Amino acid sequence: MAHDVHQATKRRGNFATSMSRTLLYSIAPVLAAILIATRAMAQTDSTAPLVLSLAECWSRADNNNKTISIRRLGVAAAAENVLDAKASRLPDINADANVEKTTPLVIYEDDDLGDHFDHAYVRTHYKLGADAYLNLYNGGRTNLKIEEQQTLQHIAETKEAYSISNIRLHIAADYLDLQKNLVFRDLLLEDINTQQRQLDRIRQNLAHGIVLKSDALRAEVKLSQEKLTLTRINNDITLASQRLAIEIGEPEDRAIVPTGISDADSIALRSYNDYADAAGDRSYENQLAKEDVALSGIRLKSIKASQSVKLGLYGTFAYAYPETFLYPYYHDPYSLGIAGVKASFPISSFYQNKHKVAAARLDYEQKQVAAKDVGDKVRVNIRQAWLRYQECLEKIAVSQKNVEQSIENQRIVSNTYFNQTSLITDLLDANVQLLQSRFDLVQAKTDAQLQYYQLLYVTDKL
């Protein structure tokens, strides 16, 4: 009976093992397929073109751009320096300990180092001690140090904001350049197809003896040149996409596809005075210049404060062996605490700091003049960006008219050429003029958009 039970249990175990293996073998291919598909999807997501608007590029750059990250670390370090300066208000506390072992003290009774004896004294010494100092007054140098570090923190924060604005301008330039070259490529591909159809028609006429072979050769050369231009534009697209990907923190081989942005001629342009007044003292360059003035003033005050009285509390405590502080001495451990007020005055600072104060005052005056100069340059940059933007808007209007005229001119010349009343050079020139006018219109719109962002940049609105 026991043998039968054992055999039945063994058969059930073998059956369970067999079922487990069968289930494992059936699930394994499914799991492998899921894993492969997951990896493929992840790889596809990391290499697929990334469609982004300009605002999305700016948002990614704010979080991933290395230059901005460097500035943020600088702001964090400046904040720590402020805390370190405030910590200088706390008392200075030191602790020390030492143990000493001396050799025997030999006393010689005559000059020839003959008779001598050992002097009895304690040969083991030890001491545990602590001392503290609390500054009460030092001419305000502690507060000035804190104020200096706070000003440096403000400078770091302003530089961070300035870097973000600068990076955004660079991203806008690369984004618009990428967008422009994509439009160039579409226009060129369209023109290549048109030129190819035109070349086929010329070859047909050549076969019928209507045109010269040189006409076909010139058309072929023109088509080859446009194909070479297409290669250059494709390379420009790759380079612009690489720059943009790096700036927003993406892998350099990640293709970026820009979306459409509003035309520059649809943006309402305010007057120069509105932009200048809006920027005012809030421009980053003006802020940095004024903070440099404030920093120079603080350092001038700090140099002057070094000529002030220094007042503080101090205290010491010691536990030592043996007692040698007061006579008669004792061969016993002792403890002693001392507390008091300490005052000092650097008399030599009157003649040692004379030139330091003069140099600091001149530096302060220099920074004041430099701040005014920066303000003037900011207004010049605002006016320049404002005028260039207006100039670009006018160029757009002229380019649009040129495109219309070039289309009509190309239509007329094409009809006259195939009616044998104009030369092949006239036809090729008309084709070039049409393509160039379209390129000029795209370039004008791109320049206007970039100039608008330049205007926002110099007015600290970017």
pLDDT in tens, 344-382: 998 888 888 889 999 999 999 999 999 999 988 988 988
Asked if the model's pLDDT at residue 125 lies above 60, the reply is yes
Asked if residue 28 belongs to a domain, the reply is no
Asked if residue 6 belongs to a domain, the reply is no
Residues 6+ apart with CB under 8 A from 194: 431
Using an 8 Å Cβ cutoff, are 50 and 256 in contact? yes
For residues 63 and 117, membership in a common domain is answered with no
Query: Could you list the residue range(s) of the whole structural domain that residue 334 is in?
Result: 91-136+313-344
Q: Per-residue pLDDT averaged across 240-258, rounded?
A: 91
For residues 424 and 443, membership in a common domain is answered with yes
For residues 276 and 228, membership in a common domain is answered with yes
Residues 6+ apart with CB under 8 A from 79: 153
Q: pLDDT-based confidence at 110, cuts 50/70/90?
A: low
For residues 340 and 319, membership in a common domain is answered with yes
Rounded Cα gap, residues 340 and 343, in angstroms? 10
Asked if residue 366 belongs to a domain, the reply is yes
Q: Per-residue pLDDT averaged across 383-392, rounded?
A: 90
Using an 8 Å Cβ cutoff, are 243 and 201 in contact? no
> In the chain, how many domains are there?
2
For residues 95 and 202, membership in a common domain is answered with no
Rounded Cα gap, residues 190 and 197, in angstroms? 11
Q: What value does the mean pLDDT of the chain take? A: 84
Instruction: Quickly count: other Cβ atoms within 10 Å of residue 17's Cβ.
Output: 10
For residues 196 and 118, membership in a common domain is answered with no
Last residue of a domain, one of 301, 325, 344: 344
This prediction has a pTM of: 0.78
| % of the chain beyond a pLDDT of 90 | 46
**Listed residue (324, 371, 252, 435) closest to 100, CA to CA:** 324
Question: 3-class DSSP state for residue 211?
Answer: coil
Q: What is the CATH number of the domain that holds 65?
A: 1.20.1600.10
Structure tokens given for 2: 């026991």
Q: Per-residue pLDDT averaged across 105-129, rounded?
A: 73
Asked if residue 277 belongs to a domain, the reply is yes
Asked if residue 200 belongs to a domain, the reply is yes
- DSSP β-bridge partners for residue 125: 100
Residues 77-102: pLDDT tens digits?
Answer: 999 999 999 999 999 999 999 998 88
For residues 174 and 318, membership in a common domain is answered with no
For residues 175 and 95, membership in a common domain is answered with no
Q: Per-residue pLDDT averaged across 413-430, rounded?
A: 82
Q: Per-residue pLDDT averaged across 384-399, rounded?
A: 90
Residues 6+ apart with CB under 8 A from 32: none
Q: pLDDT-based confidence at 48, cuts 50/70/90?
A: confident
Using an 8 Å Cβ cutoff, are 223 and 19 in contact? no
For residues 233 and 127, membership in a common domain is answered with no
**Listed residue (313, 336, 302, 300) closest to 90, CA to CA:** 313
Asked if residue 180 belongs to a domain, the reply is yes
Asked if residue 206 belongs to a domain, the reply is yes
For residues 446 and 352, membership in a common domain is answered with yes
Rounded Cα gap, residues 449 and 172, in angstroms? 9
For residues 130 and 209, membership in a common domain is answered with no
For residues 153 and 56, membership in a common domain is answered with yes
